Amino acid sequence: MMMLFKAEGKRFRAYAVAAALALTATLGFVPATPAQAQARALPDFTDLVDQVGPSVVNIRTVERVSQRGSPEMDEEMQEFFRRFFGQPMPGAPRSPRPNRPQPQEEERPRGVGSGFILTPDGYVMTNAHVVEDASEVLVTLADKREFKAKIVGADKRTDVAVVKIDATGLPAVKVGDVSKLRVGEWVMAIGSPFGLENTVTAGIVSAKQRDTGDYLPFIQTDVAINPGNSGGPLINMRGEVVGINSQIYSRSGGFMGISFSIPIDEAWRVSEQLRTSGRVSRGRIGVQIDQVTKDVAESIGLGKPAGALVRSVEAGSPGEKAGIEAGDIITKFDGKVIER
């Protein structure tokens, strides 16, 4: 448009600019300023880090290992030599030592993970595998305060655990709605990869309800997750926690672009039971299920492979009493469509 005006002078140049703006407005195009274009191209996570960062914690675990105070063989082995060889075991003392050293315990660092504050009174959520077999759990807050934590409960099936520290007035996270999470949406993680506390990484949601064989619908992302990130939060652009970073797909042990997070709605239900009773109680149907293949779907006129195929039904189980039979395909549960 502006190339049509050859005349010199400010008046003609101003007229050309005005005409160009009028044309773009007529056609429905609104020119963006450089700042607006940059904002649309890449998200800014700085405010989210300030908002959620204080709610993320570092978790270190310690394991006690028993060690004998003497390299001598135990009494049972000595008795074995006396009975079957008629002589004391080589190197064994001729008479029992009255002050024989007792086994001792040594504390060894077991691992490093992440977590986030559920409630202002000190309940913290993390992964079950982070605190598994730990004799002591140490929680470090973003302000560097450190607390010994008590394991309230852990559920291996969902890999969710809750620990409690003796503190009040803590900054708790906001919980988001996983059903509103969309594939392609920007998300952020905060955690302690390789022990590097308060590390922020970002990416997008790659898939939802990803089946990894654990009967748990994982959120798949390309957010950089490494050992030590386990138990940390997955956060949407509204500053809400939508998942717990739990697993990675890797051939090297490090990040390769595929990470899995436990949906926060599943984790929250588990955490409520852990805080109430220290354990998780689940309903039991008594059926073995499998994927619906394309051949099966076509043979019964299902249209597309969807639902859960009942392979077998346990005798006397609630499923049998309800009338479920082997070969049935369950397409809906509680009004919700079962895709896989």
User: Please, which contacts does 318-324 make with residues 24 or more away whose CB atoms are closer than 8 Å?
Assistant: 318/283, 318/284, 318/285, 318/286, 319/285, 319/286, 319/287, 320/286, 324/285, 324/287
Tell how far CA 294 is from the center of its chain. 32
Give the separation between CA 236 and CA 245, rounded to whole angstroms.
13
Tell how far CA 232 is from the center of its chain. 7
Residue in 129, 214, 222, 250 annotated catalytic = 129
Q: Tokens in use for 340?
A: 């896989």
Burial class (CB in 10 A: 0-12, 13-18, 19+), 306: middle
What is residue 296's three-state secondary structure?
Answer: helix
Residue in 55, 114, 155, 159 annotated catalytic = 159
Give the separation between CA 131 and CA 278, rounded to whole angstroms.
14
Active site residue 177: no
Q: Tokens in use for 238?
A: 């509204």
Give the separation between CA 59 and CA 150, rounded to whole angstroms.
12
Q: Buried b / exposed e across 27-42, counting CB within 10 Å, b at 16+?
A: eeeeeeeeeeeeeeee
Residue in 114, 192, 206, 230 annotated catalytic = 230
Active site residue 129: yes
Give the separation between CA 291 and CA 293, rounded to whole angstroms.
6
What is residue 246's three-state secondary structure?
Answer: strand
Active site residue 261: no
User: What amino acid positions are annotated as catalytic residues?
Assistant: 129, 159, 230
